[in-house]
Structure 1
Amino acid sequence: MNLTLFDLDHTLLPLDSDYEWGQFMCRVGAVDAVEFARRNAEFYEQYQAGTLDPVAYLEFAFGNLARFPRAKLDSLHRQFMEEVIRPALRPAALDLVRRHRDAGDLVLIITATNRFVTAPIAQAFGVEHLIAAEPVLDDSGDITGAFRGTPPYGPGKVVNLRHWLNARGQTLEGFATSTFYSDSQNDIPLLSAVTHPVATNPNARLSAHAKAQGWPILNLFND
Structure 2
Amino acid sequence: MPRDARPDQPRNLQSRSVLPGQASASASEMETALTTQPDLTGAAFFDVDNTIMQGASIFHLARGLHRRKFFTTRDILKATWQQMYFRVAGVEDPEHIAKARSSALAFIAGHQVRELEEIGEEIFDENMAHKIWPGTRAIAQWHLDRGQRVWLVTAAPVEIASVIARRLGLTGALGTVSAHVDGVYTGELVGEMMHGEGKATAIKEIAEREGLTLADCYAYSDSSNDLPMLSLVGHPCAVNPDSALRAHAKSSGWRIRDYRTGRKVALVGGKGAVAAVAAAGTWRALRHRKKQRH
Q: TM-score range by the shorter chain?
A: 0.7 to 0.9
Residue deviations 1:75-99, cap 9 Å, x none? 4323311211112234323221111
Report 1:1-223 matches (<5 A).
Answer: 1-46=41-86, 49=90, 50-53=92-95, 54-139=97-182, 141-166=183-208, 168=209, 170=211, 174-222=213-261
Structure 1 residue 18: deviation in Å?
0.9
Question: What displacement does 1:206 show?
Answer: 1.3
CA-CA distance at 1:14 after TM superposition: 1.6
Do the aligned partners of 1:14 and 1:221 also contact (CA within 8 Å) in 2?
Answer: no
CA deviations 1:72-122 (Å, max 9, x no partner) are 434432331121111223432322111101111222111111112211111
Q: Percent identity?
A: 24
Does the 8 Å CA contact 2:82/2:100 hold for their aligned counterparts? no
Shift of 1:218: 0.7
TM-score calculated relative to the size of structure 2: 0.67
> Aligned partners of 2:216, 2:114: CA distance in 1, in Å?
41
Cα gap change, 1:47/1:128 in structure 2, threshold over 3 Å: closer, same or farther?
farther
Equivalents in 2 of 1:96, 1:136: separation in Å?
Answer: 33
Unaligned runs of 5+ in 2: 1-40, 263-294
SS at the partner of 2:51?
coil
Is the 1:25–1:31 Cα contact (8 Å) retained in structure 2? yes
Amino acid at match of 2:230: L
1: distance between equivalents of 2:231 and 2:133? 27
Please identify the structure whose Cα radius of gyration is greater: 2
Retained in 2: the 8 A contact 1:46–1:52?
no
Do the aligned partners of 2:117 and 2:160 also contact (CA within 8 Å) in 1? no
Moved more, 120-129 or 90-99: 90-99
Q: Which runs of 5+ in 1 are unaligned?
A: none
One-letter amino acid matched to 1:195: G
* TM-align CA RMSD: 2.3
2:155·2:193 contact (CA, 8 Å) conserved in 1? yes
* Residues 91, 169 of structure 1: alpha-carbon distance in 2 compared, 3 angstrom cutoff: closer
Aligned residues: 219
Amino acid at match of 1:163: E
Task: Specify whether residues 68 and 147 from structure 1 end up closer, same or farther in structure 2 by C-alpha distance, changes over 3 A only.
Answer: same
Is residue 110–residue 131 contact of structure 1 (8 Å, CA) maintained in 2? yes
- Give the Cα separation in 1 of the matches to 2:214 and 2:193: 24
**Would the aligned equivalents of 1:62 and 1:144 in 2 still touch at CA under 8 Å?**
no
